[in-house]
Amino acid sequence: MGMNVGSSSGEDEVVSTINTTPLVDVMLVLLIIFLLTIPAVISSVKLNLPKETNVIRVTKPENIEISVSKEGDIYWGTTLVNDTDDLVKRLGKVAVLNPQPEVHVRGDDKSRYESVGRVVYACQRAGIMKVSFVTEPPAKGG
């Protein structure tokens, strides 16, 4: 077994190759830092975002259609409802049915959010479990 101890002349030879070990060490440390910090930057709050689905509405006779006009008037089917207390009473009567009917809210696109919100709040007060919003799909090509 032999071992190279150095030159016999006593002078050290100059090493002409680049030592890449420190470069690789630094790059690995940077890679680890990036792998640890990128998930924190991308999602700071854990959310489950809604998925868009195109569900065809099935109108059943037991479903309740509530419409809100742009003036804020509330209609049960085609009958004008006097106020939200009257709406809560009417919804309370159908909330005890088994199976409970769905409420379909049809809001005019010019109506205020407050008017539609009153209908949703009335459904909540009456104990309605399923409230759906009826919309129209956008026109094709626009």
Prediction pTM value: 0.57
- Would the pLDDT of 138 be above 80? no
Asked if residue 11 belongs to a domain, the reply is: no
Tokens of 127: 């104990």
Which pLDDT does position 56 carry in this prediction? 66
- CATH code for the domain in which residue 73 is found: 3.30.420.270
Asked if residue 119 belongs to a domain, the reply is: yes
Higher per-residue confidence, 10 vs 17: 17
pLDDT digits (tens, 9 = 90+) for 30-49: 999 888 887 766 655 555 55
Structurally, the chain folds into a number of domains equal to 1
Burial 60-85 (b: 16+ CB within 10 A, else e): eeeebebbbeeeeebeeeeeebeebe
Preceding omega of 50 cis (within 30 degrees of 0):
no
Asked if residue 23 belongs to a domain, the reply is: no
- Would the pLDDT of 133 be above 90? no
